[in-house]
A and B are shown apart, each in its own frame.
Chain A
Amino acid sequence: MPKDSNGLTLDGQGKPLWLSLEITYRCPLKCSWCNNPLDFDDYAARELSTDEWKRVLREARELGALQLGFTGGEPLQRPDLEELVAYANALGFYTNLITSGIGLTEARLVALKAAGLKQIQLSLQATEAAVTDALVGATAHERKLDAARRIKAHGFPMVLNMPVFRQNIGMTDAMIAWAAELGIEYIEFANIQYYNWALMNRDELMPTLEQVREAEQVVQRWRDTLGKKMTIYFVIPDYYEGRPKACMNGWGAIHLTIAPDGVAMPCQEARVIPGLEFESVRDKPLAWLWHESPLFRKYRGLDWLPEPCVSCDEKEKDFGGCRCQAFLLTGDAGNTDPACGRSPHHARVREATDTAARPLRFRKPLFKRAAGTVTTAFLED
C-alpha cells in the first residue's frame, strides 16, 4: 500500500504506478491473519511461468508502472525470483521484496543483490521466539532474526513490518527497542486488516481501542527519542478510526495487483467480491485489463459513489473507503465502507470493536492458514 512519506507523491494520471506481483500463494508459514484467499492451495498448479511473469513486467512498464513489490505467499518459494528481479530491474522498476525471511539464505541474498533488488520488507511478529513460532505455526523466529541481520549486513534498505493484533500489540515497545539496536531505519506497524483468514479470526485478533492507544503512545515516545534515525509508521486500524482508509488510493487509480494465476486486480483482496469478472493476463493484454476491463472500471473514480459519500466533503480524500470491506460487512461492495461513522452500516463495525472490548467472552482458538483448515468448495470460482 503506497504511503505518503513526505508529502510528495505522483498523481497517477491514470497509470498503475504501483505493481504488486503475488508470484505464489505457497508459504511455509500458517499465519492466522493471512490475507491470501481461503482456497490458496488451489492456485499452486495455476501459477504463471517465468516467461509469463516477464511479459507482465514488460506490459506493466509500458503502462507506466514504477514501484514493484514481489509478494505472495512467500515469494522466495519461487526459484526464479532472482531472475524476475533482474529482469524487472533492467526494465526500470524499483524492486521491493516482501518476505517472511524464511528461505532467505546467504546465497539468495547475494543473488538478489546482484539482480538489483532495491529494498526488502521483512515481517516479524514478536520479540520472543515462543510467541512468534506459535503465531506463525512454524519454527521461524530465529530464522527471521538471522534474515534481518543479514539483510542489514548486505546494505539493503529494509522495512521491518510487524503485523499488529491483540496477541502482540503489547510488544510494540520491545520491537522498536530491538530494531533500534539493529540499526533498522524504518519500521511499520501494520494494524492488520480483516479479510480472508484474518476475518475468520477477527474476534480473537482484534485489539481493544485501549491497547491501540497505548501502542500509539509508545510509538510517539520512541519517535521523540530516535528522531530521524528511524521512521516509525503506525496507523490506527480503520475499525477504530471513524473514517475509512483511502483504500489503494482509489479503485483502479494507481495500484495493480497480479495474482499467482495472472488475474489482474485493483487490490489483493478484490476476489472476495462476488459477481465481478476476474480476467487473467493469460487471456487479455494488461493494458486492456487496466484501462478497459469492467472490473477496473466498476469503482474507478467518484461517479459510482453512493450516499452518504456523494454529498460528503471527504469523498476525494477516501473515495468511499474499501470495496472489499463494504462487501464483507454489508453484503454490497457498492456501499460506503462501514468503517465510516457516517455509513448507515457502521453498527457492524461497532459490534466487532465492542466484542473485542468485552471483558468476559468465549475465547475461540485461532484458525491457522493451512490447506484443509476450512471447506472452500462452496466458494465461487
Chain B
Amino acid sequence: MSIDTPTLASRFRMQWEEAQQAWVLLYPEGMVKLNASAAEILKRCDGTRDVPALVADLETAFDTTGLEPDVRAFLDMARQQQWITEA
C-alpha cells in the first residue's frame, strides 16, 4: 500500500531549526533531525501534489532526473513511521 497524495500527519511539526542548522520533525515524545534530501521531500508533502508531481517538482528544483525510486522508498518509510498520510 502506498500513498497517492502525501501530507504531513497532523501531529507532526516540521521546521527549520537555526540552532541545529537543520530541518527537524517534531512529534509527541520525540523529534528527528532530517537530512537535506528528506527535508526537501517532506516539505513537498503538503497534500497539494501526488507522487509523480512531487518527483517532477524535485527534479525541476534540483535540475536532475531519475529521483522517483528514491523518493518512493523514502515515502514508504515515512508512511511506516506514520509521518505522512493520504491527503
Which residues of A line the B interface, CB within 8 A?
Answer: 2-6, 8-10, 13, 15, 17, 62-64, 66-67, 92, 94, 96, 118-119, 155, 157, 159, 186
**CB-based contact A159/B29 at 8 Å:** yes
CB contact under 8 A between A63 and B19, given known A10-B24, A94-B13, A157-B11: yes
Bound Cα distance from A17 to B22, whole angstroms: 14
What is the bound-complex CA distance between A8 and B82, given in angstroms?
Answer: 14
Whether B28 pairs with A186 at a CB distance below 8 angstroms is yes
The listed residue with most A CB atoms (<10 A of its CB), out of B15, B31, B33, is B31
Report if A66-B24 is in contact (Cβ < 8 Å); known contacts: A119-B11, A157-B11.
yes
Instruction: State whether the Cβ of B64 lies closer than 8 Å to any Cβ in chain A.
Output: no
- Within 8 Å CB of B31, what residues of A? 9-10, 17, 66-67, 94
**8 Å CB interface, B14-55 against A:** 15, 17, 19-20, 24, 26-33
CA–CA, A341 to B70, complex, Å?
47
Which chain B residues lie closer than 8 Å to A13 at the CB level?
20
Residues of A within 8 A of B15 (CB): 92
| A4 to B, closest residue via Cβ | B30
Known A63-B19, A66-B24; judge A10-B32 contact (CB<8 A).
yes
Enumerate 10 A-B pairs (CB-CB under 8 Å) in ascending A order. Answer: A2-B29, A3-B30, A8-B30, A9-B30, A9-B31, A64-B19, A66-B24, A94-B31, A118-B28, A186-B29
Which of B19, B28, B33 is the one whose CB lies under 8 Å from A96? B28
Within the complex, the shortest CB–CB distance from B13 to chain A, in Å, comes to 5
Minimum Cβ distance to chain A for residue B20 (Å): 7
Contact (Cβ within 8 A) A8 B32: yes
Most buried by B among A4, A15, A157: A157
Question: Is the CB–CB distance between B28 and A10 below 8 Å?
Answer: no
- Residues of chain B within 8 A (CB-CB) of A3 are 29-30
Contact A66 B26 (CB under 8 A): yes
A96 CA to B31 CA in the complex, in Å? 13
B30, A5: Cβ atoms closer than 8 Å: yes
A155 proximity list for chain B (CB < 8 A) = 10
- State whether A64 and B17 are in contact (beta carbons under 8 Å apart), knowing that A118-B11, A155-B10, A157-B11 are contacts in the complex: yes
Query: Is A2 a contact partner of B20 (Cβ separation < 8 A)?
Result: no
B60 touches A (CB below 8 Å): no
Q: How far is the CA of A159 from the CA of B24 in the complex (A)?
A: 22
* Residues from chain B with Cβ under 8 Å of A5 in the complex: 29-30
Closest to B22 in A: A10
B65 within 8 A of A: no
Q: Taking the nearest CB of chain B, how far is it from the CB of A289, in angstroms?
A: 17
